[in-house]
Amino acid sequence: MSDHGTDPLPPPSTPSEPDRPSPQRREPERKKGSFWRELPLLVAIALVLAFIIKTWVVEPFYVPSGSMENTLLVGDRVFVNKLVYHVRDIRRGEVIVFDGSTSWDAVTSPEPATGPLARVGEFFGISPGGKDYIKRVIALPGDTVECCDAQGRLLVNGQPLDEPYLYPGSPESHTPFGPVTVGEGRLWVMGDHRAISYDSRGHATDPGGDGTIPIDAVAGRAFMIHWPLNRIGSLPIVDATSAD
């Protein structure tokens, strides 16, 4: 009797489970959602960093007038180094930004910004601040400054200044003043466009003052024009003391 064996039947097929999206397919969606959840934190960190940098390191400043032409033009934006004078003294020939409210008549300052947009513009240096000035340092504490020699040049400690940064024709606009001896902790500052700059000369008759500004009011050194693009460049220190 022959054995008629048969192969076992395959197990009955079961319907396959429907395809489920893999974790990789949902990952982009999760990343997108994570970005929007983290965005407020990123914005807050950026604002804190901007505040720290502006307060203690570098601050943008808007040039509101033509008193520093042609070194600086109306509407120029400059960066101000706020750390430099913590490690060294101010030098003659540097362009500085300072708060004039502690020494100069505030009436001569630009009107302070009002409203949230104006304040944001002032914060980022795209609109003028309320009482900030930008001038060039001419005389330091202990210096004696006066105007002028036979060639219309300023004298500092009896030495004439050779000022290549002056607006054309500025020496002819000089009017005699001084001699003025700069006090301890004070600076004598002037604009490069002397005919229109209301600086230490014009403030010499302010009540209780001699036209100088306190060093404590200096925010820092303007070292670079960063806007407009066609005027990007550094603002070098010019030692204007002549050997005549």
What residues are annotated to the active site? 67, 135
- Which residues in 70-80 are b (16+ Cβ under 10 Å) and which e? ebbeeebbbbb
For the beta carbon of residue 2, count every other beta carbon within 10 angstroms.
4
Enclosing H/E stretch for 39: helix 23-56
CB 194 within 8 A of CB 154: no
Say which residues have a Cβ less than 8 Å from residue 218's Cβ, sequence separation at least 6.
85, 90, 96, 97, 98, 187
Report how far residue 25's alpha carbon sits from residue 235's, in angstroms, rounded to the nearest whole number: 55
CB 99 within 8 A of CB 149: no
Phi, psi of 113 (to 5 degrees): -65, 145
Residue with tokens 């200096």: 218
Enclosing H/E stretch for 159: strand 159-160
Q: Is 130 strand, coil or helix? A: coil
CB 195 within 8 A of CB 167: yes
